[in-house]
Amino acid sequence: SLALADQSQASKNKAFLRKDNRYIGFLDEVANVMSYVDEPIAIEAANGSGKLIRDVKSACFTPKELANIVWAVTHIGLPHRRLYKLVARHMIWYIDHFDSVNLSLALWGLAKMDVCSPELFHAAAPVIIDMIETFEPHRLCNTAWAFSKTLNAQDNEKLFSAIASASMRKIDKFNLSNESMLVYSFALAQYKEPVELIGMILKQQIRAIKRGEVNDPRSFANMAWGAAELGVGAKYQDLYTAIADYLARRPRILNDFGINQLATLCLALMMVESKAPQIRVLFDHVRDICATKQMDSTMRTDLMNLQAAFNYYRIDSGCVRE
């Protein structure tokens, strides 16, 4: 597993590895080894809790090795579904032996590759809650995002509540990217309960944008859409005014946005009915930037959202069409 991680980390051409039959063959062999292992017998925990656990010493791969496998294959973007499914199964067996680092990394990787394993996430939730204080801010955010892609808040409200409470206690350690990802994840999961936490984050983001401290396209898009989807955008119109004003005056930053990020931002402005003074200037920049981007059929939804936003503000979309 370490060799897989090292090879993926060192690779300067992920596309090459995705087509390398030797690498794919190696992953096939890893999957074969995992498939030969039967579910180990669970034994009662030594602490007298009555909980059944499995001895990690008998595992085919340790929790750290399982996390390394997920990270390595995810890093190069290889959709090896059989391997992912086997890793998820082995993770369920040894879920009690994972620490916060390896568990958050593995869950994030599986979610990123759209591996659907509700059984794993349901098994992981109580383990995460028990050790929530050991999660660093970025791991809290990654875990929230992973669960939001797999389960909504109603499916596991205790987990999202634990993440929100831990985030509140550690908010001073969050960076701006962590904050935007957390709000986005809560919105994706439709978790609207942590009103105080969300409000604190939005106020901090507004101040940071006005000071010119936010330059990451993903942070702008995540924060704008997250607040709108959570239904608090109208209350924090200053956020959208700050974003529109900042980006309208800095088209170079907009050039770094992908089509999805541009569409997400424009859609969010429309969702909250923002009347920011710089809206027209911002949309003019978006239209010009879209003209330089390569479009394909996978962007259909993004293009529809862009068109809807342009129509809402009665601004000519130019080439922004399906």
- At 156-190, the pLDDT tens digits run 899 999 999 999 999 999 999 999 999 999 999 99
Angle at 241 between CA 214 and CA 288, to 5 degrees: 75
Looking at the domain assignment, is residue 44 inside a domain?
A: yes
Contact 26, 72 (CB under 8 A): no
What's phi and psi for 291, nearest 5 deg?
-65, -20
Domain hosting 26: range is 1-124
Assigned token pair, 122: 């349901």
Strand 52-53 to 43-44 pairing: antiparallel
**Which residues are CB-contacts of 207 (< 8 A; sequence separation ≥ 6)?**
none
Q: How far is CA 263 from CA 304, 310, 316, in A?
A: 9, 10, 15
CA 195 vs CA 145, 165, 179, 202, 245: distances in Å? 18, 11, 14, 11, 26
Amino acid at 18: R
DSSP string across 163-220: HHHHHHHTGGG--HHHHHHHHHHHHHTT----HHHHHHHHHHHHHHHHTT----HHHH
**Among 37-46, 91-100, 131-140, 261-270, which is the least confidently predicted range?**
37-46
**CB of 273 within 8 A of CB of 311?**
no
Instruction: Give the rounded percent of residues in the chain with a pLDDT score beyond 90.
Output: 69
pLDDT of residue 46: 56
Q: Rounded mean pLDDT of 148-152? A: 85
> Domain total for the chain?
1
Rounded CA gap, 23 and 171, in Å? Answer: 41
In a domain, 189, yes or no: no
Query: What tokens were used for 311?
Result: 């129509």
Matching residue, tokens 């541009």: 262
Confidence of residue 283 (pLDDT cuts 50, 70, 90): very high
- Report if residue 213 sits inside a domain: no
> Is 39 a domain residue?
yes
Inside any domain, residue 171? no
Burial class (CB in 10 A: 0-12, 13-18, 19+), 47: exposed
For residue 295, what pLDDT is reported?
77
Has residue 267 been placed in a domain? no
Determine, yes or no, domain membership for 95.
Answer: yes
For 2-27, how does the pLDDT look when each residue is reduced to its tens digit (9 = 90+)?
A: 455 455 555 456 666 677 778 788 88
pLDDT at residue number 106: 97
Mean pLDDT of the chain: 89
Return d(Cα 304, Cα 310) in angstroms, integer.
10
Position 71 in a domain: yes
